[in-house]
Amino acid sequence: MHITDILVTGEPIIYGAMVSIALVTIAILFLLTYFKKWGWLWREWLTTVDHKKIGIMYILSALVMLFRGGMDALMMRVNLAFPELGFLSSQHYNEIFTTHGTIMIIFMAMPFLIGLMNIIVPLQIGARDFAFPYLNAMSFWSFFIGAMLFNISFVIGGSPDAGWTSYTPLSGAAMSPGPGQNFYLMGLQLSGIGTLATGINLMVTILKMRAPGMKLFHMPIFTWSTLVTCFIIVFAFPILTVALALLTIDRVFGSQFFTLTGEGLPMMWANLFWMWGHPEVYIVILPAFGIFSEVIATFAKKRLFGYSAMVWSMIIIALLSFIVWVHHFFTMGAGAFVNSVFSISTMLIAVPTGVKIFNWLATLYKSKIEFTVPMLWSLAFIPSFILGGVTGVMLGMAAADYQFHNSYFLVAHFHYVLIAGTVFACFAGLVFWYPKMFGHKMNERIGKWAFWLFFAGFHICFFPQYFLGLDGMPRRLFITNIAEWLPLNVISTGGAFLMGVGFVVFVYNVYYSFRYSERETTGDSWNGNGRTLEWATTTPVPYYNFATVPYVDEIDPYVRMKEEGKTTFDESQLKPIHMPSYTGAPIIMMSFLGLASFALVFEWIPVAIFGLVGGLVMMILRSFDYDDGYYVKVDEIKRIERKARGL
């Protein structure tokens, strides 16, 4: 076999991408070697089981993926605004909207939120790490290697091109030969393992490792949203795993689950996909709700209004999320009765969501709002998300959906909920908890520039798309030189570039703040407005989080602690702390499984077997691993705490 057999050839843009990938890789390798950082990288990051470091790696990867998915989006927008330019070929266009969707949902939104959960949830409940730190590292590496596997598809083998939903029969072996769809299947399968494991891990952590006295209804709202999300993950992801496995067996081994010729049922893929896919959109929106609740309560300087109603509405949303999936394919034609049932269940979701909106407004009511950057993102979320939510109800009416289905109206709707919901929350959460992660805040002035550019760009980009949809422009359309669509498309593209500028300013702010921001001296970074336990830790957070775990028996415990002049630290109570050891096994295990997945993409069965056996050997080694971790001595804790607290 020759190397050109698997490399993608013939596209100037992709040649450019190959060159830049090669240059960046060489530059990274050179810098690591030149500054002798290989040992540091391995000891501090690649082998870490510390939830805070794993969280940072999740967020960094997610930002890189946001860049990749954003570039895809800009290329699509250029093609739509300037159809005469011939910027993309139709095949390339199909590949790009497929990777854009998949990357943004699976490799950007989820890892970003899981990264924030990783860092913040143990701090909010007074835990020292996850329940299963080794498993947490394994989850991260399975996500990371799955994401890399999916991303290399555009230079090696060719990207998948059947949409992020990968509907059969289009994505089956007959109509999509070649490795592209296999990249989709294996990349999602590999990273899905990690997501499922994280779901279990966080669920156990929250249920079993809360500070003494903390009941479930004392937990911070972000932790609650994480717990609810974990339940959705644990119940929904197995469906995706099975569906992906069935389609893989169809494509690689020639079975007939989703083909008409073999008495299979192509629409069964859509059915299974959305049985996972609808809960999935709540997996990425519920943690966002949690982040907004924390930010709004903090900067309104009030306890969150209707805490229990907020929790119960999340639980009801989670339950409803499992019985609405058919609204993604009303036009399949299951009949009026089936569509009516799912139409009603869909509209029901607006009720608990409305409860949440009113609770946020009530929290803000008559409060002294502080307009910090995270608060701006959160305030912008409320009206923007409502626009997305109301159009969602319109789409949920089965009869009307026959008009809206697969049009730009739908595209505008889900970008309004996913960007105004999830992406705004990611930015809000990152800026809000940034001082906890890195010991300094992000610059407020540049942060506001980034916010306003992104916010304006977002509305300019997506609001016209509602009208494009009503004018009949279908989604995933390559040919758009139709005169009446052109002006709105040009406006939309302008907005997309504005969002791009906003993102660049945000990233520049990371660099600027690293250079010039004041270093934090207290743990309570936002002018002493912190309400929950994570603000009670020192900055930087010691690797064991809490030297002594406080007793908590109320919501927002840190408010009372500050009033009474207490801290979580009690030197007389110090005991040796049991911590897990770092290990390189997770990254090695997942590399083997990554190799197996890569081989399966090209259907090289012997290499795949080698990789699977390697993964199995690593699992067996893990079974006989009796490393119980180590104890941090009291003297060392005292030294660290005294230094951090200036005692």
Partner 1 sequence: MAKTDKRVPMNHVIGFVLSLVMTLVAAWAVIGSNLSTTWVIIFIMILALLQAGVQLFMFMHITEAESKNGHVPWNMMFHGFALAAILVAGSLFTMSFGFDHGEHGNHGGEGEQHEQMDSEEHSSH
Residues making contact with partner 1 (CB under 8 A): 235, 239, 263, 265, 267-268, 271-272, 275, 322-323, 325-326, 333-336, 338, 341-342, 402, 626, 628-629
CB of 624 to partner 1, least distance (A): 9
- Dihedral (Cα; 187, 60, 121, 41), 10-degree rounding: 100
Token pair for 165: 């939903």
CB of 304 to partner 1, least distance (A): 28
- Round to whole Å and give the CA distance between 427 and 452: 13
**Contact (CB, 8 A) for 121 and 545:** no
CB of 622 to partner 1, least distance (A): 13
User: Closest by alpha carbon to 359, among 255, 221, 203?
Assistant: 221
CB of 7 to partner 1, least distance (A): 39
Token pair for 158: 């060719």
CA distances from 226 to 202, 216, 428, 462 (A): 8, 12, 16, 29
Q: How many CB atoms lie within 10 A of CB 177?
A: 10
- Closest to partner 1 by CB, 402 vs 511, is 402
CB of 127 to partner 1, least distance (A): 16
CB of 314 to partner 1, least distance (A): 17
Q: How many CB atoms lie within 10 A of CB 156?
A: 18
- Closest to partner 1 by CB, 273 vs 598, is 273
CB of 636 to partner 1, least distance (A): 21
- Closest to partner 1 by CB, 153 vs 339, is 339
- Round to whole Å and give the CA distance between 630 and 579: 5
**Contact (CB, 8 A) for 278 and 328:** yes
CB of 626 to partner 1, least distance (A): 6
N-terminal to C-terminal alpha carbon distance within the chain: 67
- Closest to partner 1 by CB, 64 vs 268, is 268
- Dihedral (Cα; 64, 186, 408, 484), 10-degree rounding: 80
- Closest to partner 1 by CB, 269 vs 598, is 269
Residue 536 burial class via C-beta count within 10 angstroms: exposed 0-12, middle 13-18, buried 19 and up: buried
CA distances from 377 to 146, 224, 447, 479 (A): 30, 21, 10, 35
CB of 326 to partner 1, least distance (A): 5
Helix axes 51-81, 110-125, angle to 10 degrees: 150
Q: Say if residue 540 is preceded by a cis peptide, omega within 30 of 0.
A: yes
- Round to whole Å and give the CA distance between 568 and 581: 25
CB of 482 to partner 1, least distance (A): 24
- Round to whole Å and give the CA distance between 192 and 324: 22
CB of 347 to partner 1, least distance (A): 18
Token pair for 262: 């073999």
- Closest to partner 1 by CB, 30 vs 402, is 402
- Closest to partner 1 by CB, 97 vs 274, is 274
- Closest to partner 1 by CB, 213 vs 266, is 266
- Closest to partner 1 by CB, 26 vs 242, is 242
Q: Could you write out the DSSP letters of every residue in 56-73?
A: HHHHHHHHHHHHHHHHHH
Q: How many CB atoms lie within 10 A of CB 537?
A: 23
- Closest to partner 1 by CB, 237 vs 381, is 237
- Closest to partner 1 by CB, 214 vs 428, is 214
440 DSSP β-pair partners:
519
577 DSSP β-pair partners:
632
Instruction: Please report which helix (H) or strand (E) contains residue 506, including its range.
Output: helix 486-516
**Contact (CB, 8 A) for 169 and 162:** no
- Closest to partner 1 by CB, 34 vs 626, is 626
CB of 507 to partner 1, least distance (A): 41
- Round to whole Å and give the CA distance between 28 and 510: 19
CB of 237 to partner 1, least distance (A): 11
CB of 119 to partner 1, least distance (A): 25
**Contact (CB, 8 A) for 442 and 373:** yes
CB of 229 to partner 1, least distance (A): 15
Residue 145 burial class via C-beta count within 10 angstroms: exposed 0-12, middle 13-18, buried 19 and up: buried
- Closest to partner 1 by CB, 325 vs 449, is 325
Instruction: Please report which helix (H) or strand (E) contains residue 578, including its range.
Output: strand 577-579
3-state DSSP assignment of residue 474: strand
- Closest to partner 1 by CB, 230 vs 423, is 230
- Closest to partner 1 by CB, 235 vs 497, is 235
- Closest to partner 1 by CB, 239 vs 437, is 239
CB of 617 to partner 1, least distance (A): 17
Residues 6+ apart with CB under 8 A from 292: 360, 378, 381, 425, 428
Q: What does the buried/exposed string (b/e) look like for 103-134 if buried means 16 or more CB atoms within 10 Å of the residue's CB?
A: bbbbbbbbbbbbbbbbbbbbbbbbbbbbbbbb
**Contact (CB, 8 A) for 525 and 439:** no
